[in-house]
Structure 1
């Protein structure tokens, strides 16, 4: 494996870890209760709450990425970082508006799983599992965008 590919692989591994950790902090510790309740509502209130959540979530990922880059010497190019953070933010917003993720689940045959636990006041729901797996998957895609080879 050429050196630049090894470097990209190291950046990808580190960025994936950083984005995943920052995801959990942003989604569970930084997000306010009001944002969590309102972000899926229709209209301006829902859009505003979701945008506020995604803004703080993305800021957390950016700070974590900058710290990792500085202390680990990852050599991240900031245009790539901005593009990766944009991927993470856009896909996070899409899922957290709830209706789009539910529509995707229905379209691919996951509607029944999506509805597991709905209306029963339980923490573990199909919708929650699909939401989190969506976010983690897109964190990996965003990390690949950030890590890309040095030749671009």
Structure 2
């Protein structure tokens, strides 16, 4: 990795991470957070409503990251190419949607997706009431790191 690419990666990672936190904790609406993990198999919930809420959240999440990448890289004088940035944002969006559609299922008796995968071998996670949120955030951070590598190309 060249010094220039390393600088692009560092800038992209910092911008992805900051924007991700803003999008997840400031921009996401209460409705999106409460509904994005809904599934038909639970009384009073709808998979269609869950998909719509999750898609709306991921759209604002991705827009926030895109604005941060474009604006931040310009302010820093770091040139990111449009193609890799678009690919990085797509990767972040898809992986965010996948994780968030399982939303809330670390709190019930039938964990799914990322949470279920982690609980298989990590008993302490089942005893930690914050583990679902921590797993969700670790998933996002890992894929934002990969997305920053893609954006730095």
Q: Does 1:130 align with 2:135?
A: yes
Q: How far off is 1:102 after superposition?
A: 2.2
- Mapped to 2, the partners of 1:111 and 1:58 lie a distance apart of 33
Aligned match of 1:49 in 46, 50, 53?
53
Aligned match of 2:36 in 34, 39, 59?
39
TM-score by length of 2: 0.84
Aligned to 1:110: 122
Equivalent pair of 2:119/2:125 in contact (CA under 8 Å): no
How large is the Cα RMSD of the aligned pairs?
1.5
Q: Deviations over 1:10-59 (max 9, x none)?
A: 00001100000000000000000010000111111111111100000000
Runs of 5+ consecutive residues of structure 1 not aligned to the other structure: 118-124
Q: How far off is 1:105 after superposition?
A: 1.9
- Mapped to 2, the partners of 1:114 and 1:30 lie a distance apart of 29
Aligned match of 1:65 in 66, 69, 80?
69
Aligned to 1:139: 144
SS in 2 for 1:44: helix
Q: How far off is 1:70 after superposition?
A: 1.4
Runs of 5+ consecutive residues of structure 2 not aligned to the other structure: 40-46, 103-111
Q: Does 1:85 align with 2:89?
A: yes
TM-score by length of 1: 0.84
- Mapped to 2, the partners of 1:144 and 1:27 lie a distance apart of 21
